[in-house]
Amino acid sequence: MKRILVIGIGAGDPDYITVQGIAALNRVDVFFLLDKGRTKGKLRDVREEICRRHIAPGRVHRFVEAPSPPRDPRPADYRACVDELNTAKQAVFERMIADEMKEGETAGLLVWGDPMLYDSTIRNIEALVATGRHEIDYEVFPGITAVQALAARHRIPLNRIADPVLLTTGRKLAAGFPEGIDSAVVLLDGEDTFGRFADSAIHGEMEIYWGAYLGTPDEILISGRLKDVAADIHRSRREARQKHGWIMDTYLIRKA
């Protein structure tokens, strides 16, 4: 039997990992890392810093790295593109499990944020288990999400009293602000969709709480009336992507 621990590591601060996650780190023999290229080297650096900071001295462990499969940034069929990407990742994980783990060992997958929120790691491990080609057991440990970090860094609650909060994507928000919803947290927005709601004459007054690289030294926070700060967010987002080669951001948008 081989065991996989899927560990949420938070949104960027090495101290965002939970006590339960730290205990899981200290059970791991081999950590599997997917290399996303030079521009995203900081994502690996944070993972290694988490291990340096939280794994007990003398606990022997190793890292095994493989190239992360590429994804079409502008696919014609988004769901089909994600399915293809996950199939490719499953093949990578299967090779690592077969070639880099001994019987009885435990592997760790360090998932940015939380493995239960807009991440396919659990689906990919479930798919490998379903093939029956390997005898695998796995556990999942929650982490601090970008949603939690965003609210904490802006010092706000996500919801208004007695009102729900919607978690959605930029792709869905582009179809219009959801009916009956006061507040929406938006992830995976590569198109600055918030800008479509900056005209208060059409959409009413809106406010936004935006954050990028949450919990890291590169963190950027902007908030205010959407019509006043939309251009500032757009500029900051563009400049940050140019500087770092990538950006990880999220925001809360709601009716003022």
Each residue's pLDDT tens digit, 49-64: 999 999 999 999 999 9
3-state secondary structure of 10: strand
Q: What is the mean pLDDT of the chain?
A: 93
Q: Provide the pLDDT for residue 39.
A: 63
What confidence score (pLDDT) does residue 82 get? 87
pLDDT of residue 184: 96
pLDDT of residue 52: 94
On whether both 153 and 179 belong to a single domain, the answer is yes
DSSP letter at 56 equals: P
Query: What residues are paired with 8 via a beta bridge?
Result: 111
Q: What average pLDDT does this structure show over 137-149?
A: 96
Q: How many CB atoms lie within 10 A of CB 72?
A: 13
Report pLDDT digits (tens) over 94-122.
999 999 999 999 999 999 999 998 899 99
Q: Do 124 and 27 fall into the same domain?
A: yes
| Number of separate domains in the chain | 2
pLDDT of residue 189 exceeding 90, the answer is yes
pLDDT score of 195:
95
Query: Are 127 and 161 part of one and the same domain?
Result: no
Are 38 and 136 part of one and the same domain? yes
Which pLDDT score, from 0 to 100, does residue 42 have?
80
Question: What range defines the domain where residue 33 resides?
Answer: 2-141
Residue 84, classed as helix, strand or coil, is helix
Tokens found for residue 49? 């810093």
